[in-house]
Amino acid sequence: MTERLRIALQKKGRLADDSFALLKKCGLRFAIRGDGLLARVKNMPIDLLLVRDDDIPSFVANDASDIGIVGENVLVEEQLVAKDKLDAEITMRLGFSRCKLCLAASESSGIMKFGDLEGTRIATTYPGVLGRFLKDQNIDAKLVEMKGAVELAPSIGIAESICDLVSSGATLEANGLTAFETILESEAVLVQSGRKLSPEKQALLDKLMRRIDGVIKSAETKYIMLNAPKDKVEAITALLPGSDAPTIIPLAGSDNLVALQAVCTENIFWETLEDLKALGARAILVLPIEKMMS
Ligand code: PRT
Ligand code: ZN
């Protein structure tokens, strides 16, 4: 019987949709239905274990799953609060669900830098990461542990400041709070334990990771096509972000214009297009790249 690689994923929440989308872009075919704990991938020997994100590091560590996708913030927190060393490490950074774990307070609290936290109360759902930060900075403060709605703690009078995840900053602003220190930067990561996988599972994981790498790279990579005056090709090429030598093709019926095509491995901003136009480039097209393998 073929061994099936098991991947732990968040069932529902901020990580779930992007995790499913990433795996689908890697060619995995599956459907998430109802309350099932396991989803079977139809076209590869892979099963998806659908759980709460907080459980993912320990499931990977305890062999309930071979790998998992989880926020780095959750991984680090679970590692810090685990009684025994948690056997789950980052294998690959995935570049989505980016956020920061920040300390924040209101203007009226008088807390504007982490040095002001001495002797105060800080509300958080991250006692592990916050505790480590305070210890490293030699600050004696009281942690008020909450399960959620941390941003409300100052207004209900149970803490002077908070330590919580921030992405757009809208939640802090709506609660009259300002971030004054970032204690952890996070993104979704692939986690794995130190256990050796069987050769079949390892080969499948290597294949999956090559595809993930291709998906991440192609998301940042664009194909650019434009027409340019011959004497400006060098200056135009110099403006293209992260590109190799472009392909230059003569244009029918034109002696001084050529068509230029290049793969750019970095984002092309509107400003770059405006600069290209100023150099004489015309009919500029920027196209997404669906798949890449180098
Ligand atoms: O049910 P389960 O336990 O699986 O999910 P959960 O409720 O614990 O987590 P969920 O789905 O809210 O978040 C999953 C992961 O998404 C987190 O562990 C982070 O890695 C990542 N992530 C990215 C975020 C945010 N951005 C985020 N903004 N997680 C939470 N937030 C919250 C934050 O706590 C605050 O309440 O959003 C609010 C702030 O957002 P802004 O945009 O207003 O700054
Ligand atoms: Zn959670």
Position 118 scores a pLDDT of 97
| Domain 221-288: which CATH number of 3.30.230.10, 3.30.70.120, 3.30.390.50, 3.40.50.300 | 3.30.70.120
- Residues of the chain by 3-state class (helix, strand, coil), percent to 5: 30, 30, 40
Ligand index nearest the alpha carbon of residue 77: 1
Rg over CA atoms, the chain: 25
Q: Tokens 């600069």 appear where?
A: 275
pTM confidence score = 0.91
- 247 close to ligand 1 (CB < 6 Angstrom): no
Residues paired with residue 286 on neighbouring β-strands, in sequence order: 224
Domain spans in the chain, listed from the N-terminal domain onward: 5-96+188-218, 99-186, 221-288
Q: Do the two domains 5-96+188-218 and 99-186 of this chain adopt the same fold?
A: yes
Q: Say whether 247 sits in a helix, a strand or coil.
A: strand
pLDDT less than 50: residues of the chain:
none
Mean pLDDT over each residue of the chain, to the nearest integer: 95
Taking a C-beta distance cutoff of 8 angstroms, is the pair 161, 104 a contact?
yes
- 18 close to ligand 1 (CB < 6 Angstrom): no
Position 35 scores a pLDDT of 84
Position 293 scores a pLDDT of 82
Position 33 scores a pLDDT of 87
| 266-288 pLDDT per residue, tens | 888 899 999 999 999 999 999 99
For residues 123 and 105, what is the distance between their CA atoms, to the nearest angstrom? 10
For residues 161 and 153, what is the distance between their CA atoms, to the nearest angstrom? 8
Q: Which CATH class is domain 99-186?
A: alpha beta
Residues, Cβ < 5 Å to ion ligand 2:
53-54
Fold of 5-96+188-218: D-Maltodextrin-Binding Protein; domain 2 (3.40.190)
Position 265 scores a pLDDT of 87
- 17 close to ligand 1 (CB < 6 Angstrom): no
Angle between helices 127-136 and 72-81 (to 10 degrees): 70
Which of 186, 191, 187, 185 minimizes the C-alpha distance to 209? Answer: 191
Position 242 scores a pLDDT of 83
